[in-house]
Amino acid sequence: MLGYVLRRFAIACLLMLFVSFVAYILLFAAGDPAVTIAGAEAKSDDIARVRELYGFDRPILIQYIDWLWGVLGGDLGTSLYFKRPVAGLLLERFAITAKLGALALTLALLVAIPLGVIAGRKPNTLIDRFALLLAVVGQAMPSFWFALLLMILFSVTFPILPASGLTSWRSYIMPVIVLGYFSTPAIMRLTRSGMISALEADYIRTARAMGLPERKVLFDYALRNAALPIVSLASAEFGFMLAGSIIVENVFAIHGAGSLAWESIARADLPTVQALVLCFSLFYVVFTMLADILNALLDPRMRAR
């Protein structure tokens, strides 16, 4: 078991290194950072000064190693845009996005799993189709449109929810719905298929024959077996959610890590982008590792591979 965890840890570190290096290169490929930072109305001498100031004239590999050295020493650098330490900036923003993401994932699970159970119980019936339709609705339209529609409905037509910012618990409702809904179809489908398979198993027939109440059959037996793949999927969905938060945060004026990511990329704020990429990949890696460990613990067959 320990060997397994160590192996996973080593791969995780390698992954983060790889991803951060690729991100660095992409940032340069996406346009000369000196020009972006100097601003649209800067003249060529302003741009040259910026280039010199931040060392963009050095080879990319050297710049990357410089940054990496700093990170390993615990220094995430200073934001080129905000002129503040990146660490503090990230902490503030991530607290918000993580909260949003966690709530959204919870919502997705709360909606998708029951729907999946219902659908799996009676496959190919009207209920099944309806559950599927419900799950897919939120994903069948672009999230910024979904977000704006909700905003118009609940902040304008029926002014019961705040349109922007995070002033109260009510502010979380619409963003969480938009963000969470994105993952509902995948989780629901997986639950449904898992339930169908599990329910066809022999021991379920036995349990039913023995007269166990249906609810017990569904949740204690069938769902528990279907749970394994759902856990790994949920972790992947959390990763997607972080990506989707860019748009949601933009529309609802919630200043979290997602909007920071997009704006930092657009502003070529290299230290911030690099730190964000590191964090996102860390989150993702940790989640998948946890999910795999959980799977390994629950299913000895996986560990042997």
Partner 1 sequence: MTDLVNSVNPGSDTSPLEGRPARWRSNGSLLLGLSILAIVVAMAIFAPLLAPYDPYAQSLPNRFTPPVWLPGGGWDHILGTDQLGRDYLSRIIYGSRISLSIGIGTALVSGLIGSTLGICAGYFGGRIDSVIMFVVTARLALPVVLVALAIVAIFGSSFTVVLLTLGGLLWERFALVTRAATIQLRGADFVTAAEIQGATVPQVMLHQLIPNLANAIVVVATLEMAQAMILEAALSFLGLGVPAPMPSWGLMIAEGKAQILFEPWLITIPGAFLFALVLATNLLGDGLRDVLAPESRN
Partner 2 sequence: MKWKLKTKLLAGVAVLATLSAPAFAGKADNSLNIAFSDEIETLDYYQTADRPGLIVGRMLYDGLISKDQATGEFVPELAESFEIISDTEIDFKIRPGVKFHNGQILTADDVVFTLNTIKTPEFNARYSIAVNWIAKAEKLDDATVRLTMTAPNPLALEMLAGNIPIYSKAYWDEAGAEGMSKAPVGTGPYKLVAMTPGVSFELQRFDGYYSGGQKADAAIEKINIKIIPEKNTQYIELMNGNLDWIWRVPTNDVERFASRPNLKVDTTPIMRIEYLELNPNKVDSPLADVRVRKAINYAVNRQQMADAFMGQGHPLIQSLCNPVQFGCETDVTTYDYNPDKAAELLAEAGVEAGTSLTIVPNGTEGVAEVIKSSLESLGLNLDITKLQVAVAQEQWYGNMHDIALTNWGAYGIGDVSLSPAAYLNGTADDIVKDPALAALVNEANTTMDGERRASLYSQIFKTIADEAYVVPLWTWSSNAVMSSDLDLSVGPDEFVPFYDANWN
Of 253 and 298, the one with the shorter C-beta distance to partner 2 is: 253
84 binds, among partner 2, partner 1, none (CB under 5 to 8 A by kind): partner 2
> Any contact of residue 45 with partner 2 (CB under 8 A)?
yes
> Any contact of residue 149 with partner 2 (CB under 8 A)?
no
Among 76, 151, 217, 270, which residue sits at the site for partner 2 (rule: CB under 8 A)?
151
By CB atoms closer than 10 A (0-12, 13-18, 19+), residue 124 is: exposed
> Any contact of residue 75 with partner 2 (CB under 8 A)?
no
- Residues from 268 through 297 that contact partner 2 (CB under 8 A): 268
CB atoms within 10 A of CB 288: 18
Sign of CA dihedral 295, 95, 246, 263: negative
> Any contact of residue 126 with partner 2 (CB under 8 A)?
no
DSSP character string of 48-117: HHHHHHTTTTS-HHHHHHHHHHHHHTT---B-TTT-SBHHHHHHHHHHHHHHHHHHHHHHHHHHHHHHHH
89 binds, among partner 1, partner 2, none (CB under 5 to 8 A by kind): partner 2
Among 7, 49, 58, 170, which residue sits at the site for partner 2 (rule: CB under 8 A)?
49
> Any contact of residue 253 with partner 2 (CB under 8 A)?
yes
Among 1, 2, 156, 304, which residue sits at the site for partner 2 (rule: CB under 8 A)?
156
Q: Are 117 and 195 in contact (CB under 8 A)?
A: yes
Separation CA 234–CA 303 (nearest Å): 20
Site string for partner 2, 170-209 (x = CB under 8 A): ----------------------------------------
Separation CA 114–CA 61 (nearest Å): 50
Which parts of this chain interact with partner 1 (CB under 8 A)? 11, 14-16, 18-19, 22-23, 26-27, 29-31, 123-124, 129, 132-133, 136-137, 139-145, 148, 152, 185, 189-190, 192-194, 196-197, 228-229, 236, 239, 243, 246-247, 261-262, 265-266, 273, 276-277, 280-281, 284-285, 288
Site string for partner 2, 1-30 (x = CB under 8 A): -----------------------------x
Of 207 and 246, the one with the shorter C-beta distance to partner 1 is: 246
The residues near 244 (Cβ < 8 Å, ≥ 6 apart) are 143, 179, 182, 258
Q: Are 21 and 64 in contact (CB under 8 A)?
A: yes
3-state secondary structure 231-253: HHHHHHHHHHHHHHHHHHHHHCC
Listed residue (182, 199, 178) closest to 251, CA to CA: 178
291 binds, among partner 2, partner 1, none (CB under 5 to 8 A by kind): none
1 binds, among partner 1, partner 2, none (CB under 5 to 8 A by kind): none
* Residue showing tokens 């109260």: 168
Separation CA 219–CA 229 (nearest Å): 16
Q: How far is the CB of 63 from partner 2 (least distance, A)?
A: 17
The region, left, alpha or beta by phi > 0 then psi within -120 to 50, assigned to residue 28 is alpha
- Residues at the contact surface with partner 2, assessed by CB under 8 A: 30-33, 35-36, 38-46, 49, 53, 81-84, 89, 92, 148, 151-152, 155-157, 159, 162-165, 250-253, 255, 259-260, 263, 266, 268
